[in-house]
Structure 1
Amino acid sequence: MNSEFINMKPIPYGRQHITQDDIDAVMETLQSDFLTQGPKVAEFEQAFANYVGAKYAVAVSNGTAALHLCTLVLGVNEESRVITTPITFVASANCVRYCGGIVEFADIDPETALLDINKVRAMVESKPKGYYTGIIPVDFAGNPVNLEEFRKLADEFGCWIIEDACHAPGGYFIDSKGEKQLCGNGKYADLAIFSFHPVKHIATGEGGMITTNSDELYQELLKLRTHGITRDPNLMEENHGGWYMEMQELGYNYRIPDMLCALGITQLQRADAGLARRKGIAKVYDEAFATIARIKVLGTSAEALTENGDTGHAYHLYVIKVADRKGLYDFLRQHNIFAQVHYIPAHTMPYYRNLGYKKGDYPEAEAYYSECLSLPMYPSLTAEEQEFVIEKVKEFVG
């Protein structure tokens, strides 16, 4: 390997993969009659709903907007208490605060860094039924949450579920009947959300998607996405003519333009190939680190493993844990390898500390944070680049 050559080329932890087909699709849309609110939006929504196996999909401006709309249609207000994980991007919790609701965190399973259902059960059982209104599990790193178990818990205590599947398009878990349940398919969650940020599986620059199997929630999402306005004559209180529309409630401008949806459509056409490549990269890392005691690879949930050795893990991230995380992070950067840390526990952020949270509240999350590092993981990562990353990680840990 020409290490000096690779060392001159930055290797990020994640990046978009743009092809000529992507460029052509965007150019064609730029030359069409619609730049926004046109046919590409519905085309992208239908294609994405088919991909994850959901009845409906609603495309929006970004993943955070998707979360906000979900909390709005589920009626989150000042009296709502919602449980989520501290190991996530803060938007998973912030969406509740946007509606004035109360966020409560539950600690993680140290093996997977997923929301620990036993901790959640202990929380809801300690309070009267109805005290908690919702749960937001996160398919962290692409590792799917067992939503069947969360659904049982939620039904028992009258909670809704929003699945934050931003890391996991194409991911799945195996349910108690041995059936594959795709992330975002709406069988166990009331709503699921995805992000199309450049480092995600499907990149549109910015963008997001909500999936659901509920007709009622779907119609409400469509309205709130566009200022709370409807043009459907069947839903209007009155109708003055073809131009007429009604703002029926306070909504938002969370629309996504047609150019980005055109890009999303072509990206989605390569999603399976990209996911297969991610799994191949993960396998190489797994084999490289299997015998190194000082490197612990973040585990995959048992429900994501199949008998034939395949995994439902979508591998948005490949996370290792090492004792001297800061040292390894700095060492890799010296060699132009830009690994990243996911995530700083949300409850330790100043905003949430001002709400009463403090360091020490969730020891498993904080222990995970002290050691975690996300290595480069994206479909266009070359074998030579990955070999260089592995070489440098091994060099540091000795």
Structure 2
Amino acid sequence: MKPIPYGRQHITESDIEAVITTLTSDFLTQGPTIEEFEKAFAKYIGCQYAVAVSNGTAALHLAAMAMQAGENTNVITSPITFAASANCVRYCGGNVFFADIDANTFCLDIEKVEALIQSKPKGFFHGIIPVDLAGYPVNLESFRQLADQHGLWIIEDSCHAPGGYIVDSKGTKQYCGNGIYSDLAIFSFHPVKHIACGEGGMITTNNEALYKKLLLLRTHGITKDASLMHENHGGWYYEMQELGYNYRLTDFQAALGLSQLKRANEGLEKRRSIASVYNEAFKNRSFIKGQSGVVEGHAYHLYVIRTAKRKELYDFLRARNIFCQVHYIPVHTLPYYQSLGWKKGAFPEAEQYYQECLSLPMYPTLKPEEQEFVINSVIEFHK
């Protein structure tokens, strides 16, 4: 059996043609394809505005900046996420606080978040960054209610969940990142994600003021909009009005993303189909607990199982050319965050999850015989 990775990009002839067309056009960097991609993505997610940036980490950083995170800003996020979900606050000089995860969803536990907020003086916290881990959509309606009670903003980390959704209390599908319950949301277009740009990211919102702020921040804080400038010396003139960054996406990356977006729903349905096969195969298997399961609205960037012998299973599968992965090492246990005072043992659910979690191969081009080999290998190991 050829190597089977945990994730893999899917590049088609139409993707290649779209990139070639852009490469042979007049624009490589900030051209018309970026705006086309932004508008198409906003429509897909169901929000008013989208801002394309160079990667998911840049999206998080700019989102934190747009929410005015700074030296005295205190923000809550999950310890089970990629480090960037926390780092974005640190980039702005703010302070990161963690709350434990829900043992069933592997996402931020709202009861633990509420307890953390109430343990501090009123006004101590400023924001929450919930993470749609593995594509599991966080119930942002509940988080929005909690945030409004305490005057907090929400940045939804939806890197794993384009196309994912919850059904809210009114029976309405609310898609991850649509801005109904969050101030800003961010997405990643890394190769193993649902939509690949090579590297790339997107910030979505329904707030026009935040949208305009993001446009400024992604390009050095520079504007050529005459209506915004203090002076105007001519057609060449520009003003740097804030300290921003060069976090721009290129036109040919946007072309790839736009092409991939056209078959995003097809890929999402394939992921859900693969997940259903895993679910059926592992049903009633006592040696596997807490697998991703059948969840309405799950985007299945990852399919996560939990097993008591994770390290042994990981090595066993690698020996068979099945390259699973672990998502994630708890952020508070990483040396940098330990240097800030966080200690192992602080979040037992997150740390127990880390000891047991394993992401099995999950991508639209995973062949049935490959998935069968993965399933049989997992079962054989435990026998």
1:282 aligns with 2:267: no
Structure 2 unmatched runs, 5+: none
Equivalent residue pairs, number? 383
Partner of 2:51: 58
Letter in 2 for 1:389: V
Structure 1 Cα separation of the partners of residues 151 and 19 of structure 2 = 44
Q: Which moved more, 1:118-127 or 1:268-277?
A: 118-127
Structure 1 Cα separation of the partners of residues 123 and 16 of structure 2 = 50
**Residues 272-318 of structure 1: CA deviation (Å, up to 9, x unaligned):** 00000000000000000002110114346xxx95xxxxx20000000
Partner of 1:380: 365
Structure 2 Cα separation of the partners of residues 203 and 394 of structure 1 = 32
Aligned to 1:162, what secondary structure does the other structure show?
strand
1:126 aligns with 2:111: no
Structure 1 Cα separation of the partners of residues 306 and 319 of structure 2 = 19
1:75 to 54, 68, 72: 68
How much identity, in percent, do the aligned residues show? 69
Structure 1 unmatched runs, 5+: 1-5, 306-310
1:217 aligns with 2:210: yes
1:199 aligns with 2:192: yes
Q: How does 1:178-257 map to 2 (within 5 A)?
A: 178-257=171-250
Whether the aligned pair in 2 keeps the contact of 1:112 and 1:298 (CA below 8 Å) is no
Whether the aligned pair in 1 keeps the contact of 2:331 and 2:337 (CA below 8 Å) is yes
Structure 1 Cα separation of the partners of residues 63 and 84 of structure 2 = 12
Q: How does 1:151-166 map to 2 (within 5 A)?
A: 151-166=144-159
1:320 aligns with 2:305: yes
Letter in 1 for 2:351: E
1:330 to 309, 315, 323: 315
Partner of 2:255: 262
Aligned to 2:180, what secondary structure does the other structure show?
coil
Structure 1 Cα separation of the partners of residues 223 and 300 of structure 2 = 39
Aligned to 1:296, what secondary structure does the other structure show?
coil
Partner of 1:3: none
* Structural RMSD (CA): 0.8
Whether the aligned pair in 2 keeps the contact of 1:60 and 1:225 (CA below 8 Å) is yes
Partner of 1:308: none
Displacement after TM superposition at 1:127 (Å): 2.0
Q: How does 1:31-110 map to 2 (within 5 A)?
A: 31-110=24-103
Structure 1 Cα separation of the partners of residues 299 and 273 of structure 2 = 11
Displacement after TM superposition at 1:212 (Å): 0.3
Structure 1 Cα separation of the partners of residues 240 and 371 of structure 2 = 53
2:107 to 111, 114, 117: 114
